[in-house]
């Protein structure tokens, strides 16, 4: 039995997130159908993460096992021939039997894109979050420093199970600007549900003067979602890289 690791990119606009569900078309369902056609056998893929409806990916990883001996190059070419234009396989390689796209991951990097301008960008309506207010990046960078490190991020997630740990480590959080494009890049050992979008929303609250950078440690300490910023819109978020 071969174990295959696949890297893909997708535009999440038309999908109800990554994971298969009964009430909408998803990335997983679409990819599995196309892979199954190429390999002429049912295929179940294991994704590295769940992404919400409207969220995109530059480097999403999934793995699957098959006894078919189709060359990896042909798997990529053949599947891309069936996939819609908003999903593409980037690479495929054979990996050890114990590799799993989710459980073997050592961390992830997300990017959030903001079109910071009075005018909308008609060419990126569903690819960047349109934010009209002037952005004080130095103030936001000062706030971002409080997220780096190992913390309880229960104030920065939409759902927290009593059994699951809400402790996560953020390795890096950087904010850059090029013209009207503001890019927020965050990497860590793992992320809670909506954690990146809530951190972005909290940084925007800092920019708007609703809270100060120095309020963030107390928000973390209180473990209360209502104290943190809004959940930023999904269409600005990209799963950028997965680390193994």
Contact assessment for residue 47 and residue 60, using Cβ atoms and an 8 Å cutoff: yes
Residue 52 appears among annotated catalytic residues: yes
Q: Which residue has the tokens 């996939």?
A: 83
Three-class SS state of 178: strand
- Distance between CA 178 and CA 155 in Å, rounded? 31
Of residues 52, 98, 121, 224, which has the active-site annotation?
A: 52
- SS3 labels along 11-72: CHHHCCCCCCECCECCHHHHHHHHHHHHHCCCCCCEECCCCCCCCEEEEEEEEEEECCCCCH
- Residues classed as catalytic: 52
């Amino acid at each position: 039995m071969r174990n295959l690791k696949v890297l893909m990119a997708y535009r999440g606009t038309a999908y109800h997130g990554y994971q298969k569900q009964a009430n909408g078309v998803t990335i997983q369902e679409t990819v599995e159908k196309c892979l199954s056609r190429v390999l002429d056998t049912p295929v179940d893929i294991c994704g590295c993460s769940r992404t919400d409806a409207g969220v995109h990916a530059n480097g999403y990883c999934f793995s699957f096992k098959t006894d078919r001996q189709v060359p990896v190059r042909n798997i990529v070419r053949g599947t891309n021939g069936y996939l819609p234009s908003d999903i593409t396989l980037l690479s495929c390689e054979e990996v050890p039997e114990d590799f799993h796209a989710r459980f073997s991951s050592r961390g992830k990097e997300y990017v959030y894109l903001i079109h910071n301008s009075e005018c909308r960008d008609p060419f990126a309506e569903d690819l960047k979050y349109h934010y009209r207010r002037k952005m004080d990046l130095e103030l936001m960078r000062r706030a971002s420093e409080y997220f780096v490190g190992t913390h309880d991020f229960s104030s920065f997630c939409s759902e927290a199970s009593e059994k699951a740990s809400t402790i996560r480590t953020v390795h890096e959080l950087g904010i850059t600007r090029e013209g009207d494009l503001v890019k927020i890049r965050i990497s860590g050992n793992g992320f809670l549900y909506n954690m990146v979008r809530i951190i972005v929303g909290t940084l925007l609250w800092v920019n708007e003067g609703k809270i100060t950078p120095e309020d963030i440690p107390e928000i973390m300490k209180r473990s209360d979602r209502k104290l943190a910023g809004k959940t930023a819109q999904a269409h600005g978020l990209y799963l950028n890289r997965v680390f193994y």
